[in-house]
Structure formats: structure tokens, C-alpha cells
Structure 1
Amino acid sequence: MKKVLLILGSLAILGVLLFKQISVSAGSLIIEVPEDPNPTKTTVMYQCDTETDKEKIAATYLNASMISLVDFTWKGQRVIGANVIAASGVKFAGAQYIWWIKKDQAILYNLIDDPTEENPIRCEKIQDIQ
């Protein structure tokens, strides 16, 4: 009986240690793109007009093969959008947000607050960071 309890105790401790290791790396996501040996990462700073004030957004564009993502923070919420079909420019969708870029301008839509996309937040490119 003591051997069984010792084994069960050891397994429980091992399980806790393994779980602890898994939870440490749970903050990362790795997407393998074997066809593209040179993925790119570009960060652009935008100045956005919210009608009440101006806010800056640093948008990071990640491109690899046929995968294009944008990563930015808006109102304290991190948004990661994937490239979707657009009539013109480059359009990303993530969470309730649409991020649409055309040349040096970007438009941000919050589909919860503005489901008909009638009140865009207009942003102008200020500088390339990387």
C-alpha cells in the first residue's frame, strides 16, 4: 500500500511539474510556414482621429507566404487580424475590428459599436518603425 501511495504521489508531483512547464509556454503561438524562407515583419506608426482626441497605433505587419497578419493594440485590447478579401487596399479582420489600409492611410472599424461601418476611425501613417 505504501508503494502505491508513493507511486501516486510521484505521479501527482510529476503532473504538476509538467503542467507548470506547459503553462509557461502557453503565451506563444508558432505558425510554421515551410514554403517561405524569408517571412517579413514591418511596424508602422499611425495617428488616428477618434473625433474626441488623437491616438497613436503601432501596427505590426507579419507576412509569410500566403499568410498576412496585423498585430496592434486599440483601447487596451490586443488585436490580431488576418488578411481578408478587399476590393482595394489590404483589409484585415480580427475580433470585432476591421483594419483596412490604402497607401498611407488606415481605417479602423469596430463592428460591435458600428455594425454598418458608417463611422470609421481614420488613421494617417506617421512613420515606419522597422
Structure 2
Amino acid sequence: MKTILAAFAASALAHAAWAMPLTVPQVQEASSQTVKYDCDGDKTLSVRYVNTKNNQSFALLTVDGRKLLFVNVMSGSGARYVAEQYTWWSKGQEGNLYTGMGEANAPPVIGNCKARGK
């Protein structure tokens, strides 16, 4: 997990001369899995899911050319991850990417994503 956070911190802050790798010794990776999704509009997403030893979950994906670290939050159904104004919501082998900048019932910005080979 240290490596994941360090890589994202370094890439996100590469333009700043003071950028240092982020290490969080209390957060240790227990397992990870990368899932590739095929979505509407011939779009694809690659999502790396990371579970930690202290039962936290993260999803790492690229949105608009930026690598973002999504944090798992409470969900009534499926798994919901948030980063900035974005929400990645997956259930089973499907998922949708939403932005909080639209209307309450706005369609996903990337939708009907289905895991490859499933």
C-alpha cells in the first residue's frame, strides 16, 4: 500500500518541487486485484482494487487523464468509492462512474461497464 500511495502522491504532485512520496505505515496492503471494464461508447476502464489489513478498501483508476485514489464509503448496495467529485459504483461484475457536478439523477459519465471475461 505504501508503494501505491507513494506512486499516486508522486504523480499528482510531480509539478511541485517540494513533492515527497506519501507513506502511511498504518495502512498495509492485504490484497489487490486489477479489473478491466468495457463500457458504453467503446470506453474502457482499468480499476485496481486494494484491500488493506485494517479492512479499508480503495479503488485506483484514471479519470480525464488523472490517476485518482478512490476511498470506499458506505453503500446500500454494491461497493461505492469516491474521489473528488467522482463516484465509482460497482456491483458484481458491473460498474458506473458518476460525477457530483451534475443533477441528482444524472446518468453516469461512463456507464454500463462490464468486467471483461465475465
Instruction: Classify the TM-score, shorter chain.
Output: 0.7 to 0.9
Q: 1:69 aligns with which of 58, 62, 65?
A: 58
Partner of 1:91: 80
Give the secondary structure class of the aligned counterpart of 2:116. Answer: strand
| Alpha-carbon displacement from aligned partner over 1:49-94 (angstroms, at most 9, x marks no partner) | 1xxx221111001111221110000221222110000001111011
In the alignment, structure 1 residue 32 sits paired with structure 2 residue 25: yes
Q: 2:100 aligns with which of 111, 119, 128?
A: 111
Q: 1:47 aligns with which of 18, 22, 38?
A: 38
Amino acid at match of 2:62: T
Shift of 1:48: 1.6
Amino acid at match of 1:85: M
Name stretches of at least 5 consecutive residues in structure 2 with no aligned partner.
Answer: 1-16
Name stretches of at least 5 consecutive residues in structure 1 with no aligned partner.
Answer: 1-22
Shift of 1:25: 6.6
TM-score by length of 2: 0.72
Which structure has more helix as a fraction of its residues?
A: 1
Partner of 2:113: 123
RMSD (CA atoms): 2.2
TM-score by length of 1: 0.66
